[in-house]
Structure formats: structure tokens, C-alpha cells
Amino acid sequence: MATATWNGVVLAASDQTVLVEGNQYFPIESIQCEYFRPSEQHTTCPWKGVASYYDIVVNDQVNKDAAWYYPDPKEAAKQIKGHIAFWHGVKVMGGK
């Protein structure tokens, strides 16, 4: 079971993560939605496509752009469609 935590709160937990480039991608249905706020940030990966981001908000503290996902990944990254990954101090433990 993989878990993602920040500021003492479990943001996501799943035994169905996908490992890509050292990042655990959690199924979107495994996240605790109340801690996620859409961000305006977008980046582009040459082989995965355009990423969108979420700010993580816990106890009035904001971790800007701490989660990302690919709403429409390229064919080479189709396994991460419907999944979300973390960085910026979000601790991910376990996984595949």
C-alpha cells in the first residue's frame, strides 16, 4: 500500500499505484478531494504530454502545485491517465 502525506494528513492511499520515472502515480479515486485545489499551473513533458496541477491545502497551509496529473496523456504514458503524483514535500511511502 502506498500513501502520500503532507502536514500530518493522508492525501492518498492505494495499492494500485503506477511507478513512472521514480514517481508513484495514485488512482484519482484514492485521493482525499477536500485537500486539493485546482492550480493554474501547466507544464509539458515531451513523452507524457501536458500536466495540470493542484495546490494542496491542509489546516489553512497551502503547498502550491504539489500534485500533478496528465488529463490527456500521450500514448506512451497512457498507463497514468486518471492518476495523480506528488512532490514539494509530500511524503510518498510504499508502492510498487
pLDDT in tens, the chain (96 residues): 999 999 999 999 999 999 999 999 999 999 999 999 999 999 999 999 999 999 999 999 999 999 999 999 999 999 999 999 999 999 999 976
For the chain, what is the domain count? 1
pLDDT, residue 76, reads 96
C-alpha cell at 61: 497551509
Tell me the torsion sign for CA atoms 87, 19, 80, 11. negative
pLDDT, residue 41, reads 98
The domain spanning residue 58 has which CATH number?
Answer: 2.170.150.40
pLDDT, residue 44, reads 98
pLDDT, residue 96, reads 66
pLDDT, residue 55, reads 98
Q: Give me the residue label for grid cell 492525501.
A: 11
CA 4 to chain centre: 9
pLDDT, residue 95, reads 79
> Which range marks the domain in which residue 23 is found?
2-93
- Compute the distance between CA of residue 38 and CA of residue 23 in angstroms, rounded to an integer: 20
Give the phi and the psi of residue 56 in degrees, each rounded to 5: -105, 130
